[in-house]
Structures are given as structure tokens and as C-alpha cells.
Structure 1
Amino acid sequence: MAGLQTLNRQILLKLLIVSVMMFGFGYALVPMYKALCEVTGINVLTNKNDYGVRAYSPNKVGNTQVDYSRVITVEFDSNSRGPFSFRPLKNFLEVHPGEMMQIDYQVSNNLDRAVQAQAIPSYAPKVATEYFTKLECFCFQQQTLAAHETKTMPVVFIIDAGLPQDVKTITLSYTFFEVGEGQHAVPEAPKSKVAS
């Protein structure tokens, strides 16, 4: 009988150690992922200070003449964390640098109650971040969605003509998530993925 109790204690101790190790590994995945993205330059995230405050500045845009000799493909991506259906109405646009363009995103609240939500943008490649200026964006402020409400929300943007010549495609990705009472803290940054 004493041998059985000892065996049970050993198994319990091993299970506890495995559980703690699994929790520690899961907890360490986020910083490891961020470090990997920084080193490889993939899944580039915007600076925390950039989202929600990127607005038109005449000094930033400079020469607003359209460069018709270049075409940039801008791909649009969407992710949602929470009770939403969220998507761009077009998967991509072909844009000339200096040209003002608009893309619309559609979001639906799938709950029987109103929610507060926020969107966070990210860009790929990273170099495109400083050349992509949003004049209007639903990401600048929180959105309120009534129960089962669907909204179409615009993003008006300009790609600066100073964008490096080797950049032919830019991916703009948004993560849309619920904020407010009973929710976890705002995520630090979204995970970007290339649109298919």
C-alpha cells in the first residue's frame, strides 16, 4: 500500500512539472515570436505610437503629384479577435504613388448586445510603414456596434512617392478586437499575414 502511495506521488509530481513546463513554454512563445519576426523582417508590426494617430500632414506627404510611372499593389487583410465578422470589401488595389485611394472594410457584430471595438493596423514590408499615410481610418478611434449591426468603414490613404523602388507590394492588415468591460487588455500589436 505504501508503495502505491509513493508511486502516485511520483506520478503527480511529474504531471505538475510537465504542466508548469507547458505553461512556461506557452508564455514564452509570444516574446520568442516577436524576436523571430524582428530578426527575419516578417510579420512587421507598427510602432505602438503610430496606430490611432497617423493622420494627414502636408509636411509628411510633401509633393502630392501622382507618379503614373509606378504601380504598387496594396493587399488588404483582416483578422478578428472576438464576436465579429470582419473583412475588406476588396482584396487588393493597384495604386500610383501620390494618388489618394479608398478601401472599405465591413464589420458585423454577431452578439445580442452592443460592443466597443478597436482596430490596429500593421504593414508589410516594414519599410512601407513610413510611406503609407492614412487620411481617414476607422482605426483612429474605437467603434461602437449595436447588437447584430453591420458597418462599412473607409480607409483613405496615400502612398508617398518616396517609397523605395524595390517595393512593389504592400500588405495592410488590421486586427479588430472587442474592448471594454469584461475584456482583456488591448493587445500590444496584431499579427500580420499576407493576403491570399
Structure 2
Amino acid sequence: MALAHQRLTVKLSIAALAMFGFGYALVPLYDVFCDITGLNGKTSTEAASAEAAVVDSQREVLVEFIARPNKNMPWVFEPVVTRLRVHPGEIHQVNYLARNETALPMVAQAVPSVSPGQAALYFNKIECFCFNQQALAAGQEMLMPLQFYVDPALPSQFSTITLSYTLYQVQGAETTAPAGTVTGDNYE
């Protein structure tokens, strides 16, 4: 009887370790799956190149910009422009405003999402503040640029793309404010 209990204990221990390993591997596997399929609106974190893009002047796509800080992030975070009509293949730049309204220096990271999810494969960021962490001293604000284009291969069923950013605080990061950071209302 003791031998049967020992075998059962070994089998259950192996099953528990296998479940832990599977759960640990799910996060990177999910990220790879989202990158491949565009599911959940995840976009690539690599800068795109617009050199090969040809402008489709016969078509317009409405790009909507949304920004929100995480509920625990005490910054103001908003797009300067909320909507922009673009021709696929044209390069555009928009800015987002971030302001640290706390009495402490903080570091943040923006996480993008594109809707509809299938359109994420055709929304290309050339330069984006989301590629790097953003540090602001107490009371400082800055404009953060996003340079992008919509791939002309975007299927015709998509006439609107929504780009949404959520801003999160980065715990334990270096809090030196970058050059070009401004204080007060004198940003351009």
C-alpha cells in the first residue's frame, strides 16, 4: 500500500511541475501568437521603414488616437490630435502630451493596442515614444512623437483604425528626465 501512495505522489508531483512549466511558457507563447496573427491589436515593437510604401491617394483611412494612464498612474496622458484622415503610404507625425502631476520623479512606459486587431498588421510605427521608457521630474511635461504610416496593403474593409495607448508606471527605473522635457505650459 505504501508503494502505491509513493507512485501516486510522484505522478502528482510530475503533473504539478508540468502544469507550472506550461503556465510559465504561456506568456511568451501568447506574445508570439499575437505578433503573428495581430490578435488583440498588438503591434510590433520594432521601428518600421516607409521607404517601400507607395501612397494610395485614392483612398482615405481614419486613424483615431486614444490615450489613458493606468488607473494607478497619476499622470496626464492624452493625444494632441484625436483623429486624422490619412492616405495609406503617407508618413504622418502626431504628438502625445504627458505631464507628471506628482511631487516625485517617475518613469512610465506606454503599451499600444490597435483596433480592429487585424489592422494592426498594417499600422506601422517608424518612431514611437512607446519604444522607450519616459522619465519626467515632478511637475514636468513633454510632447512625445509618434511617426507612422498605414500600409497601402490594408484590406479595403478597414476604413477606421484606432490606436490606443495605456501608460504604466515603471517601478525601480532610473528617473532622470530626458533632454527636451519642459516644465509648465511652454511646450511646442
- Please state which band the TM-score falls in when normalised by the shorter chain: 0.5 to 0.7
How many pairs were matched up? 134
Q: Which residue of 1 aligns with 2:59?
A: 70
1:50-61 matches, within 5 Å, as 50=44, 53-57=45-49
Structure 1 runs of 4+ with >3 Å offset: none
Structure 2 residue runs without a partner (length 5+): 1-33, 174-188
- Residue 102 of structure 1 pairs with residue 93 of structure 2: yes
Q: After TM superposition, give the deviation of residue 63 of structure 1 in Å.
A: 3.7
Contact 1:54–1:133 (Cα < 8 Å) also in 2: no
Counterparts of 1:63 and 1:115, CA distance in 2: 39
Contact 2:112–2:165 (Cα < 8 Å) also in 1: yes
Counterparts of 1:70 and 1:63, CA distance in 2: 18
TM-score by length of 2: 0.67
Q: Match for 1:133 among 102, 120, 124?
A: 124
Q: Which residue of 2 aligns with 1:46?
A: 42
- Residue 115 of structure 1 pairs with residue 106 of structure 2: yes
Structure 1 residue runs without a partner (length 5+): 1-37, 183-196
2:143 corresponds to which letter in structure 1?
A: T
1:55 corresponds to which letter in structure 2?
A: A
Q: What's the Cα RMSD here? A: 1.9
Q: Percent identity?
A: 40
Q: Match for 1:170 among 161, 169, 185?
A: 161
